[in-house]
Amino acid sequence: MPDTKAELRRRLRRARTDRTEHERANVAAAFVQHAAALAGSTIAAFVGVRSEPPTVPLLEALHARGVQVLLPVLLADMDLDWAPFTGAADLAEGRLRMLEPVSPPLGPGAIATADLVLVPALAVDGTGMRLGQGGGSYDRALVRTSAPVVAVVFGDEVLESLPAEDHDRSVDGVLTPDRGLRWLRESPGGGTR
């Protein structure tokens, strides 16, 4: 594979910083339009910060629908704890400038209560391989859940293939602003989820 993970990350991050605020606002609105496709009474998600796909309006839409939304709280060892999302006004800057809920954390195992997990990614390929930021936080956290995992990316970040290592955890689906939720893998009972 011609691009290493580090080279791909640099290229993808550069492309993200080139997006305008108008583009980002359109992406946020498109994600809200896809909120109904995200099923479950508890959804673990994340707050898109800096150049990541903006997710706060989607989180607000899920919360307004009565979904319990769990957000990550980055621990000192780069593992993830989880706390309930109660609204955008109740987010504060945490480690590495991530926005985190101010509500008390529920413990790293709280992700196991989720019916669906939305994860950040720099890119995903058609087999479900996910390219993360490189810290390994989600690879560790995802072993604690059996819920379907969906990567949230911009539409042009669904690539043909990505480099993979043994510790990388693939995803079951992808959420993009242009195409909505697409399942990439078959469910255990047969058919796509």
* pLDDT band per the 50, 70, 90 thresholds, residue 186: low
Question: What are residue 181's phi and psi, to 5 degrees?
Answer: -85, 130
Beta strands 158-159 and 123-125 are parallel
pTM: 0.90
Spell out the domain ranges in the chain. Answer: 5-181
Task: Tell which CATH architecture fits domain 5-181.
Answer: 3-Layer(aba) Sandwich (3.40)
Confidence label for 136 from pLDDT (cuts 50, 70 and 90) = confident
